[in-house]
């Protein structure tokens, strides 16, 4: 079952998606071409701004499924990336920004935004509104990137370890994931399994329960109020139908057993229970006649 494309996202949302794409691309550019150190601050600021832009762009679509999870995913990534942007701007003009207490603040800001990116990916995986492979790449890449932070001392330029290539691969995956998520925001690809709700009928899908209650409609491809996921509800209905069929078969079998004989639990013999069968009164009358 495939949902049709119901519309394009607003221009502001698409602009946020473009910022996310640019942020991921400037991070990946360092793996392709040599970038002057003077542009590192601009590159990292744009990268963090892109992450914030994508989080803001998809928040409305996430909120149509779960407002609490949407806020829980958006607030940390926006706050952590904003914190790191502020640290980068304050670090301009310092000779050794990574040393001392100021460097310690930068370490915690960097660790916070990597973990916040991973958390946002987990929330996106759970809600399933954006492309799940991109969200999974974001989770894996962000966690891998944390292993390269200097104060964790898992690797260094003087003593390189296996964590050095792992961290670099994680940074690349993180940037690639934000590019994919930005493309998803701009293009608003339809998600499989979503069907439009007729006008006048408003319903909300309760994630994980397969139940429908009066309220909002489910998320659409463009973030508006419209489609409702039907597949989980069908699964629940099939499960209930199977359960009802089993109950009916059990009742019919019980009636047949009662018609031909009564199964009763006898006394204990040698520490074990035994089952004995005796004919029912109806069977006795039929035998006497």
Q: Are residues 161 and 259 in the same domain?
A: no
pLDDT reported for residue 188: 74
Query: How many CA atoms are closer than 13 Å to the CA of 145, on its beta-carbon side?
Result: 25
Helix (H) or strand (E) holding 135: helix 132-145
Tokens coding 22: 């640019």
Would 209 be classed as within a structural domain? no
Q: Are residues 149 and 275 in the same domain?
A: no
Q: Are residues 66 and 133 in the same domain?
A: yes
Would 62 be classed as within a structural domain? yes
CA gap 70, 58 in Å, rounded: 9
Q: Are residues 19 and 98 in the same domain?
A: yes
Would 211 be classed as within a structural domain? no
End position of a domain, from candidates 192, 216, 242: 192
Q: At how many degrees (to 10) do helices 163-187 and 100-127 cross?
A: 50
**265-280 burial, b if ≥16 CB within 10 A, otherwise e?**
eeeeeeeeeeeeeeee
Domain range for 273: 232-288
pLDDT reported for residue 236: 56
pLDDT reported for residue 104: 94
Tokens coding 277: 């069968």
Closest alpha carbon to 221 in 199, 251, 245, 196? 196
Q: Are residues 174 and 239 in the same domain?
A: no
CB 192 within 8 A of CB 3: yes
How many structural domains compose the chain? 2
Q: Are residues 256 and 125 in the same domain?
A: no
Q: Are residues 181 and 67 in the same domain?
A: yes
End position of a domain, from candidates 144, 174, 192: 192
Q: Are residues 20 and 127 in the same domain?
A: yes
End position of a domain, from candidates 167, 192, 217: 192
Q: Are residues 236 and 166 in the same domain?
A: no
Q: Are residues 153 and 282 in the same domain?
A: no
pLDDT reported for residue 35: 85
pLDDT reported for residue 255: 66
pLDDT reported for residue 27: 93
Q: Are residues 31 and 158 in the same domain?
A: yes
pLDDT reported for residue 235: 58
Would 242 be classed as within a structural domain? yes
CB 17 within 8 A of CB 50: no
Q: Are residues 132 and 246 in the same domain?
A: no
CA gap 190, 229 in Å, rounded: 12
CB 103 within 8 A of CB 96: yes
Tokens coding 103: 């460097």
Closest alpha carbon to 41 in 53, 49, 33? 49
Tens of pLDDT along the chain (289 residues) come to 333 344 567 899 999 999 999 999 999 998 998 888 888 999 999 999 999 999 999 999 999 999 999 999 999 999 999 999 999 999 998 888 988 999 999 999 999 999 999 999 999 999 999 999 999 999 999 999 999 998 898 988 888 899 999 999 999 999 999 999 999 999 876 555 444 333 333 344 334 434 333 334 444 444 444 444 444 444 555 666 667 666 766 676 666 656 555 444 444 444 444 444 445 555 444 445 4
């Amino acid at each position: 079952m495939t949902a049709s494309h119901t519309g394009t996202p607003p221009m502001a949302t698409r602009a946020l998606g473009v910022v996310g794409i640019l942020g991921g691309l400037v991070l990946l550019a360092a793996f392709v071409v040599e970038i002057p150190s003077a542009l590192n601050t601009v590159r990292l600021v744009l990268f963090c701004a892109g992450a914030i832009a994508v989080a803001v762009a998809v928040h409305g679509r996430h909120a149509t499924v779960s407002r609490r999870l949407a806020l829980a995913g958006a607030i940390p990534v926006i706050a952590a990336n904003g914190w790191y942007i502020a640290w980068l701007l304050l670090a301009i003009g310092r000779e050794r920004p990574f040393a001392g207490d100021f460097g310690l603040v930068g370490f915690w800001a960097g660790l916070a935004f990597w973990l916040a990116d991973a958390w946002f990916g987990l929330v996106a995986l759970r809600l399933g509104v954006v492309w799940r492979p991109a969200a999974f790449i974001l989770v894996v890449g962000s966690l891998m990137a944390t292993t390269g932070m200097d104060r964790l001392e898992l690797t260094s330029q003087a003593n390189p370890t296996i964590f050095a290539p792992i961290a670099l691969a994680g940074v690349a995956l993180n940037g690639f994931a934000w590019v994919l998520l930005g493309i998803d925001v701009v293009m608003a690809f339809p998600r499989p399994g979503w069907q439009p709700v007729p006008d006048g009928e408003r319903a909300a899908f309760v994630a994980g329960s397969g139940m429908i209650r009066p309220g909002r409609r489910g998320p659409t491809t463009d973030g508006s109020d419209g489609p409702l996921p039907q597949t989980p509800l069908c699964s629940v209905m099939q499960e209930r139908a199977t359960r009802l069929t089993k109950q009916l078969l059990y009742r019919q079998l019980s009636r047949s057993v009662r018609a031909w004989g009564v199964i009763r639990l006898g006394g204990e013999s040698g520490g074990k229970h035994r089952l004995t069968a005796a004919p029912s009164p109806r069977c006795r009358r039929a035998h006497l006649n």
